[in-house]
A and B are shown apart, each in its own frame.
Chain A
């Protein structure tokens, strides 16, 4: 399932204008949802967190979207990056589905959800299909 989804994202990258890639993640807008996939085994520090948010906002061009965020690739994230993503990271989001199915990604989402009380509907899901189902009602 994951592999297919990843392939699809690559497919979108070449076929759609609305896509973006940096050192940390690949993002694209697909049918009114921002797909956001962290690359494998990445470690995020403050500069990286700022780049991640800034690139996503550029892609969204000032419009809020539901976000499907696959965080399974994150290996390590330091304190400054955690703080930044917890505040600035939720800008221009209508709802977020976090895909996390490993103990590590589960722990990171727990940490985020408990510490931050996100202002928007947020759900932890096990795969992209479940995530899309949750986000469906937030698509314009």
Chain B
């Protein structure tokens, strides 16, 4: 949409922010090739919506069974020319079109540019009566021209017993349960954690305050930047950063989901992995530069973490 005016674009930023304030993080702004401040603002608003949406998902990963439910959102029944013959209520709710405005129109009318190409290519390649189930990411346009990316599944329906519809297209999303609203603050902290923690910790109130968090983040950064050096003892590390050993042990684990030494090993191996894959450095040198005693030690730890040896990786890079 190259003909969008500045005010049109600004208006959409407002609309998206309104959606976010209502708790809808699924919409995105259409991006243009313009180079102005508004384009940068649009990009950061999209990024913020993406981050918020994923931070909920992250917590879902920690505690999926009782916090989230899967919910089918939009359902479209399409005839053999891919026109909409049936849509469910969520379609009208999410895309803001009325049922009457959509029925009998081709589905492609609801898609944004890139998705139109994808959809047209896909539908052209279909052979009639060919059985299939296909997953596809499509970006829908709302009536007010916000974008709604959705993971969709398209299946063809058996002809017998269904006289008009030939295909069904559904999209699903994961939504947050109201019960979790109360744990907002906790999810902020949990977001920093890369691994699920044992359940009893989740119920406890965090004993870390903001300045503690900054300290432990700084320690994490320090460790990442000094992978080649011998690891300091916990006591030294704690004193260096103005905290104590007990707090360091407990707080670091709470923030990163692993102990200081697990974290260090993880970072060393991750760094080494890229060196093995992307360079021709001898393993001995990579081992030394990442704080491993020798190549054998390195190889063993590497295999334990990734399931293949450095040699396997380099041979296949």
A132 within 8 Å of B (CB atoms): no
Q: Chain A nearest CB: distance from B260 CB in Å? A: 18
- Nearest chain-B residue to A82 (Cβ)? B47
Do B280 and A61 touch (CB < 8 A)? yes
> Chain A interface: which of B63-71, B83-91, B269-277?
B269-277
A78 neighbours in B (Cβ, 8 Å):
50
Does A130 have its Cβ within 8 Å of any Cβ on chain B? Answer: no
A91 at the interface (CB under 8 A from B): yes
Cα distance A91–B47 in the bound complex, in angstroms:
24
Alpha-carbon distance between A82 and B43 when the two chains are bound, in angstroms: 13
- Residues of chain A within 8 A (CB-CB) of B41 are 103, 107
Give CA–CA (A41, B279) in the complex, Å. 29
**A127 to B275, alpha carbons, bound, how many Å?**
31
B31: interface (CB < 8 Å): yes
Of B46, B54, B221, B278, most buried by chain A (CB within 10 Å of CB) is B278
Question: By the criterion CB–CB under 8 Å, are B279 and A61 in contact?
Answer: yes
Q: Is the CB of B274 within 8 A of A103?
A: no
Whether B130 is near chain A, meaning CB under 8 Å from some CB there, is no
Contact A107 to B43, CB < 8 A, known contacts A62-B279, A88-B274:
yes
CA A60 – CA B41 in complex, angstroms? 35
- Interface residue count for A (Cβ, 8 Å)? 26
A123 to B39, CA, bound (A): 23
Docked CA distance A97–B151 (Å): 38
For B36, B39, B43, which residue has the most chain A Cβ atoms within 10 angstroms?
Answer: B43
**Alpha-carbon distance A53/B278, docked complex (angstroms):** 8
Is B37 at the interface (CB under 8 A from chain A)? yes
Interface residues of B in 50-93 (CB under 8 A from A): 50-51, 54
Judged by a CB distance under 8 angstroms, whether A129 is at the interface is no
Is A104 within 8 A of B40, CB to CB?
A: yes
User: Measuring CB to CB, which residues of chain B are less than 8 angstroms from any residue of chain A?
Assistant: 31, 33, 35-37, 39-41, 43-44, 46-47, 50-51, 54, 221, 224-225, 270-271, 274-275, 277-281
A interface list, Cβ under 8 A from B: 41, 53-54, 57-58, 60-62, 75-76, 78-79, 82, 87-88, 91-92, 102-104, 106-108, 111, 117, 119
